[in-house]
Structure 1
Amino acid sequence: MQSVKINELRPTQMTHGLREIHQKTTEYQSLSGHTLDMAIAEKPIPVVIGPNAASFAIDHHHVATALWRAGIKAVPTVLVADLSSLAQDEFWLTLENHRWTYPYDVKGRRVSFTAMPEHVWELADDEYRSLAASVRDAGGYEKTTVPLEEFRWADLFRSNLPYPTSDAEFESLVKKAVKLAKSTVAIGLPGYVGPAEQKRQE
């Protein structure tokens, strides 16, 4: 496990959920000493080495951003692959083939890999990405190891629910999103639990 400076960590996605980041930042700021060190060590950032030996995060962008906001300068990383010998275009296509990148903006539109932000904290805020995390925490679906699962759920909510413009609207939307996540509309998405689970919880 190697430590990498957060300001040198390159993102592989365009968006993140600020609500989720704010929550994680508050949690990290409440810790100190050995307890903080342990919390940081629990979630090393999986990275792929790209052109010019740069470290690209392929997951845990929220963790890295929250730690940066909490004043942490470096994070432990786990090397997934070394693709430093590839040219830029070939590198990004390889990431996409492995589902290690998500080049879509806050409206779900495909963007060029050259538009990818330079730093993890520069990603655009996507309320639907935060909604996906809140729905999972509320039991709307189960966490899986499927790559980019949160984005697939975010896209479902983006296509079916209005964009929240306030905290109150967001909280109200979580309840609707949980119901949607357990409906037949969501069949096939990773972590789907279905209406039977919903009835048991009710």
Structure 2
Amino acid sequence: MKLELAHRSLGVFSNQNREKCWIDSRSGHKSLMLFPRSFNIAWEHVGDYWIWISVTEPSASGDTEIEVPRLVGSCCLGVHGVVDMSKLTPGVQYELVFVVELDGISDGRLDTPVDLCLVLPDGQRLVQKMVLGTIPKSQWIELHVGDFQTPQQPGDVEKEITFSLCTQQGFEWDEQVCWSDLDTRYGFLIEGAVVRPKK
């Protein structure tokens, strides 16, 4: 992960600092990071559920302040993003990971399974469950969402894939699908999602 952070520091921002692209030195292929302001996050504008904090992200043009969300109260968890495969290297096997953290003051009983979901252009859904409360605290952790192959030629297939981190499979949640038994503060932060060549 340290090597990847070094590569990220040479990346170039785009899409109003919502994305950053760099070249993986091992493979020579493009990597991409999607920052949280590019996501659709359930209840993201409700201060009782989420607060947004600034963190420094290095790049080829210098340090830039980006915003990351911190879950601070009981709510539904629904985080949804989209990857434009035309921004990646054709014909390459990629993996997608969320980068998240449980901070040191997290005291929520995060024992409810969440779904990590990747939806491919053909509609295939790759879903795995995990319990957020099992990850180490006070450090950025990668949550593997899934792997996919970029098309050999641009325009071969639909260019977009979608991914999510939700309390219910995919992104078909509503106000009733909540952690109703969790009434404490969580301290769950999302730095973004990294799309990189599969090792």
* TM-score (structure 2 length as normaliser): 0.28
Q: By percentage of residues, which structure has more strand?
A: 2
Q: By percentage of residues, which structure has more helix?
A: 1
* Higher CA-based Rg: 1
* TM-score (structure 1 length as normaliser): 0.28
Higher relative contact order (CA 8 A, sep 6+): 2
